Amino acid sequence: MKKLILIFAFFAGILISCDAKKTTSESNGSNPDMLNGSWELNYIAQTKMAVNDIYPDKKPFIAFNTKESKVSGNTGCNSFSGAISSMSNGKIRFDEAMVMTRMFCPGDGENVFVQNMKTVESFSFSDDGKTLHLVQKSGVDAMRLTKK
């Protein structure tokens, strides 16, 4: 009987440790601290054009400061900065009251970028941590960015 209890305890320990490892790796995939730094756009939804075609002169980027819940960057034309209104458990929302310069911008690139930022509700990272996925409510990527 003692042998059976020891075997059961052994296998229960293995199952618990396997589950703990899975939870740790999942939490790293949506760890807000991994957002810190600058990320350059390499994919954007709501357009069939390639990023290099819609932003021929300068690619947009987003810089995160999670300690201060701040975000800044460039739309490919104008600079912006503002607050991250919420950020936890893989969820993120940008404050809609962003400060932005107002230079004339040819084409639709800036509008597409700003509209996609408004749809972002969550984030995740690629397995290697080099690609940031900003995801819409529907689960589709609004944008993908690479670490600069």
Q: How far apart, in Å, do the first and last CA atoms of the chain sit?
A: 60
Q: Which helix (H) or strand (E) holds 134?
A: strand 131-136
Same domain? For 40 and 80 the reply is: yes
Same domain for 64 and 45: yes
pLDDT truncated to tens, each residue of the chain (148 aa)? 555 444 444 444 444 444 433 333 344 567 899 999 999 999 999 999 999 999 999 999 999 999 999 999 999 999 999 999 999 889 999 998 999 999 999 999 999 999 999 999 999 999 999 999 999 999 999 999 999 9
State the CATH number of the domain containing residue 138.
Answer: 2.40.128.270
State how far the Cα of 103 lies from the Cα of 114, in Å rounded to an integer.
15
Which H or E run contains 123?
strand 120-125
Q: Are strands 141-147 and 131-136 parallel, antiparallel or unpaired?
A: antiparallel
Same domain, 39 and 100: yes
Q: Which domain holds residue 86?
A: 31-147
Domain co-membership, 61 together with 112 = yes
Cut 0.85: pTM above it = no
CA-to-CA distance for 2 and 8, rounded, in angstroms?
Answer: 10
Same domain, 115 and 129: yes
The count of domains in the chain is 2
CB-based contact 109:77 (threshold 8 Å): yes
Question: Cα–Cα distance between 19 and 31 in angstroms, integer?
Answer: 18
